[in-house]
Amino acid sequence: MQYGSFDPAKREYVIDRPDTPAPWANYLGSPAYGAIISNNAGGYSFVKSGAAGRIIRYRFNEQDRPGRYVYLRDDESGDYWSASWQPVGKPLDQYKSICRHGTGYTHLEAEYKEVRSEVCYYVPHGADYEVWRVKIINNGKKARKISCFGFVEFTCESFYEQDQVNLQYTQFITRTYFKDQFILQTINENCLNAVNESRVDTRFFAVAGASVASYCGDKAKFLGNYRDYGNPVSVENGKLDGTLNYNLNPCGALHTAFNLEGGKSAEFVFLLGQKKEAVARELVTRYKDASIVEREIDELKKYWHAKLDNLKVSTPDDNFNNMINTWNSYQCFITFAWSRAASLIYCGQRNGYGYRDTVQDIQGIIHLDPDAALDKIKFMISGQVSHGGALPLVKYSHNPGHEDKPEDQSYRSGTGHPTYRADDALWLFPTVWKYVAETGNVALLDEVIPYADSGEDTLFNHLKKAIDFSLNHLGIHGLPAGLHADWNDCLRLGASGVSVFVAMQLYYAFEIMIRFAKHRKDAATEAQMTQLKTRFGKIIEERCWDMDRFVRGITESDVVVGKPGDPEASVWLNPQSWSVISGFADEARGKAVLDLVHKELNTKYGARLMAPPYRRHAFDGALALLFNPGTKENGAIFLQTQGWLVLAEALLGRGGRALEYYLESCPSAQNGIAETRLLEPYVYSQFTESIDSPFEGRSHVHWLTGTASTVMVGCVEGILGLRPDIDGLRLSPAVPASWKSFTMEKVFRGCKLNIKVDNPEGHESGCKKLTVNGTAAEGNYIPASMLKAENEVVLEM
């Protein structure tokens, strides 16, 4: 079943059936003010942090309620509905609606009994409040009397958890006031400063450009007892009763009424934010003139589209184009901004950046916004502890040079992270490499950046310290210990058990250090890293290979995990794909292990993380056993790993396989099976249930997932073959034989490249000829020095 489609020209996803199988969401705003909104206007907003800055309530895991509701009422008949299909939920044969999720805005159009409404929700660029632009149009001939009610359910206080669970306190610290055009909510209003954990805050919900006919600041009065958002008594009555809350639950509800002649319309805005009364007043004045809204929405589009324009592709596959040009890219920016904090699944409690998550997220946007990537790289480097390990969670309040760390009880209790993970700091290598290669900014390596706890060092030395950390944490057979986890949160291999995934990461890290050292003419480091690479290569060969596959790890009691013949978990995806990515496996071995993956792990929705899932034969540290078979780390199609598989196949030049894997798990390619997939067909989720589940194909944990960046890298570096290095750009597309030609527009170090790839003979990879502005280039490499402001590049495969 299909509920919508892509509008690539506008970079929108257009939902034309509102009864989607799950709330299909969008993100508005910036790290200063975040807002999540579903196609039915469900969702919530927060200032800076979903955990500590929550403004709107949302009931997770329920019916997508409440949200930013606009109710409409025919004052002659008393009939009422909402500008989003839910919460009132009129019959769909009478109520027509379209939701356009765009870059930084969501636009809802509806028509019911000849009244059309258009509500556009957005956070102005750089602002920390939100705007709901409302337009009501009488599409009939006869005059109509229409009431409109804006409603928002405030949290009692900004700390999400307190608001939810500490009712004996939070219900009694807040009240609302009516101030001409807005409801003002105060929290701890008698205090001048924060007291204990609580903070003094004021929020407002306003209408601008229309006058207030009635108001209400008390949720219970707005809804009425034993009623719901779908049938609020005050909307039914056509009037808000003027009750302001003093204790219990606050809300902002404002009513405005119009007589609309046939064909006429009314336009005004609702505004919401955490602002003092005087600022709220100023905003109401500013938004009286509705023309500001069009300008702001335009500005948002320009801002986002300019970023996304840094790579535009036109390939024979529209699913690929939809994702790479807009939605996968946009999702990468969202994970980059909000990590794993706030979605309709994550309730915001993770109050910081997971180290591995964010360092990987950066990779998804380097080619689109290298400056933003640079800031975040420096920030994450400052989350590395002076002994080289990385803080598992870098708090939003991170104060480099002064942070506590997993050795400290305060860090453990404050973050819930008991100790170091084996992989965290090793993600820095590919991320820093990709940034330096994209920009040529090698000077970054000499930049001095503080450590999280104390001291400072050049970025290059930070990287060396990351290697030291791994070398200081070796387990049996001299391989890197698995510690509390490697990439896989469900593998506790401990201080002496070892992780093959980390061994491959480390091997790759040596390679990247060799490239940097060569460029710096640092012969000592080059020799040291080369020697380490050889040493570890030998151990990997001896200990991590079994018959036809790379194993997954070795436990503290020397039991090999993931070997042929094991009754469960005998094949694991990551060590095979990473053997290629890390450069450890040569071409023949790489192809062989990926063939094994195709045979043993692939399904119609992608390759499983491992198989068979754990049921009876898990070792003590195999926490995946906790999950139902075919779910999450217990043998689901863990979508993040599909990106690595796509990349690995592409690195081997097998473009057909790369695209096959890509399409199996591509959201856009699942647009027609929404009832199976459930989640948004325009964003990646964390995992898809695999063949061991009775619900094969169902996907979970939308938006905030490492899938966005790994698939992006798999496509950009892998399938499209855009592989920059310090001195230029290598073009190595790996595409299916059926792609006879495609084009890419890429901005590279300030130069524009119009790239045309011709593949008349239907190859999957390779380069017969490359010309840059008519001049033949050597091999498939474009030295940066060859580039002008605008360049015509033609590659024949």
- Applying CB under 6 A, which residues contact ligand GLC? 340, 354, 356-357, 487-489, 633, 686, 705-706
Question: What's the CA gap between 46 and 651, in Å, rounded?
Answer: 42
121 forms bridges with which residues in the sheet? 106, 132
What is the smallest separation between the CB atom of 247 and ligand GLC, expressed in angstroms?
39
Tell me whether residue 201 or residue 357 sits nearer to ligand GLC (CB atom): 357
Tell me whether residue 470 or residue 488 sits nearer to ligand GLC (CB atom): 488
Question: What's the CA gap between 754 and 773, in Å, rounded?
Answer: 10
Tell me whether residue 80 or residue 501 sits nearer to ligand GLC (CB atom): 501
676 near 698, Cβ under 8 Å? yes
What is the smallest separation between the CB atom of 687 and ligand GLC, expressed in angstroms?
8
Question: What's the CA gap between 427 and 352, in Å, rounded?
Answer: 17
Buried residues in 129-145 as b, exposed as e (16+ CB within 10 A): bbbbbbbbbbeeeeebe
Q: How far is CA 120 from CA 132, 288, 343, 610, in A?
A: 6, 16, 20, 44
Closest CA to 484 of 467, 468, 471, 502: 502
What is the smallest separation between the CB atom of 705 and ligand GLC, expressed in angstroms?
6
What is the smallest separation between the CB atom of 339 and ligand GLC, expressed in angstroms?
9
Name the pairing type of β-strands 751-758 and 790-796: parallel
What is the smallest separation between the CB atom of 638 and ligand GLC, expressed in angstroms?
7
- The H or E element containing residue 433 is helix 428-439
Tell me whether residue 364 or residue 733 sits nearer to ligand GLC (CB atom): 364
246 near 175, Cβ under 8 Å? yes
Question: What's the CA gap between 678 and 655, in Å, rounded?
Answer: 29
Question: What's the CA gap between 410 and 665, in Å, rounded?
Answer: 41
For residue 782, the SS3 value is: strand
Number of H helices, E strands in the chain: 21, 44
Kindly name the residue from 75, 468, 489, 522 that is annotated as catalytic.
Answer: 489
Tell me whether residue 540 or residue 639 sits nearer to ligand GLC (CB atom): 639
Tell me whether residue 182 or residue 487 sits nearer to ligand GLC (CB atom): 487
The yes-or-no answer on residue 361 being catalytic is no
Question: What's the CA gap between 390 and 422, in Å, rounded?
Answer: 9
Residue 503, classified by CB atoms within 10 Å of its CB into exposed (0-12), middle (13-18) or buried (19+), is buried
Tell me whether residue 97 or residue 705 sits nearer to ligand GLC (CB atom): 705
Tell me whether residue 357 or residue 453 sits nearer to ligand GLC (CB atom): 357
Nearest residue to ligand GLC by CB is: 489
123 near 80, Cβ under 8 Å? no
**What's the token pair of residue 120?**
């556009």
What is the smallest separation between the CB atom of 624 and ligand GLC, expressed in angstroms?
9
What is the smallest separation between the CB atom of 326 and ligand GLC, expressed in angstroms?
23
Report how far apart the first and last C-alpha atoms of the chain are (Å, whole number). 38
What is the smallest separation between the CB atom of 711 and ligand GLC, expressed in angstroms?
13
Q: Which residue has the tokens 């075919």?
A: 630
Q: Is the peptide bond before 21 cis (omega within 30 degrees of 0)?
A: no
Tell me whether residue 47 or residue 624 sits nearer to ligand GLC (CB atom): 624
Distance of CA 196 to the CA centre of its chain: 34
Question: What's the CA gap between 736 and 632, in Å, rounded?
Answer: 30
- The H or E element containing residue 320 is helix 318-322
Name every residue whose Cβ is closer than 8 Å to that of residue 468 and which is 6 or more positions away in sequence. Answer: 387, 388
* Residues with a known catalytic role: 489
